[in-house]
Amino acid sequence: MAATLRIATRKSPLALWQTEHVAARLRQAHPGLAVELLPLSTRGDVVLDRSLAAIGGKGLFLKELEEAMQDGRADLAVHSLKDVPMQLDPGFALAAILARANPYDAFVSDRFADFDELPQRAVVGTSSLRRHAQIRALRPDLQVRDLRGNVNTRLAKLDGGEYDAIILACAGLERLGFHQRIRAQLAPPRFLPAVAQGAIAIEVREGDAEVAALCAALHDVETALRVRAERAMNLELHGSCQVPIAGFATLADGELHLRALVGDTVTGEMLRAEARAAAADPEALGRAVAAQLRALGADRLLHTAH
């Protein structure tokens, strides 16, 4: 085992917070272990003048970090699990999924207390097609405009008057100490979050048993069961951030409950499905809910989104 464990991370404040959190947890779990951060810029961080969907999706946040692992500069990488493709490239594996933080979306505004207070034709900022589709379904009168950049940049654009409100992830705001900026939570069943939103994942080289074993101490079984169901649904629908899909699973008394939707950002059409099953096979539940959505016509909407 190398004397020092090196973690590849994006340079954004939120990514650095998440990676520092993982580093601290690893040091706590393994006293004497030295952990260093390797901050990197990814294409997803650099190209900010176009939407993520237009430049290829959230996988753009992983490539440079995976290259650092491949060439030996890093031993692992830390990601927001919602940014991780449903299938990793060959040679990589997820070694741990941490306990999920607040999974919901946040309504953030300097002038309005919640989503329903927005006046006709108000301007709402989001970079997410999933959020866009749900806004369109609930309030077709609103103007949805693209919003890119890190959390601080997005808040500055709101404060500068470019938007009447913006939608961000509660987890990101809370991790960065912006709890007070959350005017309201957009929660199920009315508003569904991104698949795996609020969960942090640790990616390692496939077959690197020593590093995987160190990371396993941080793995949260309940979160993993929930996000496995969500990701299986997304995978079955060939979903990415280039299509408006949402999914959210809860676990109680050994039973998973998965809600999911597919939307259309233009028409506001929304297809919803849900199911319950024993937690023993989360992927089967995900596939079952995907099949329901397909039966309702999801393929038509997803094809249109492409």
Q: How far is CA 87 from CA 120, 130, 141, 247, in A?
A: 41, 20, 37, 17
Tokens at residue 38, please? 């390797």
Distance separating alpha carbons of residues 272 and 301, to the nearest angstrom: 12
Tokens at residue 295, please? 């039966």
**Hey, is 19 helix, strand or coil?**
helix
**Contact 257/271 with Cβ under 8 angstroms?**
no
Active site residue 83: yes
Distance separating alpha carbons of residues 93 and 213, to the nearest angstrom: 12
Distance separating alpha carbons of residues 296 and 306, to the nearest angstrom: 18
**Rounded (to 5) percent helix, strand, coil in the chain:** 40, 25, 35
Distance separating alpha carbons of residues 140 and 121, to the nearest angstrom: 9
Q: Count CA within 13 A, CB hemisphere, residue 179.
A: 4
Q: Which residues contact 250 (CB under 8 A, 6 or more apart)?
A: 226, 256, 257
User: How many C-beta atoms surround the C-beta of residue 180 within 10 A?
Assistant: 7
Q: State the pairing for strand pair 245-252/184-186.
A: unpaired
Which candidate in 83, 105, 164, 264 is catalytic?
Answer: 83
* 104 DSSP 8-state letter: S
Q: State the pairing for strand pair 255-263/245-252.
A: antiparallel
Give 37's strand partners: 7
Q: Which residues are catalytic?
A: 83
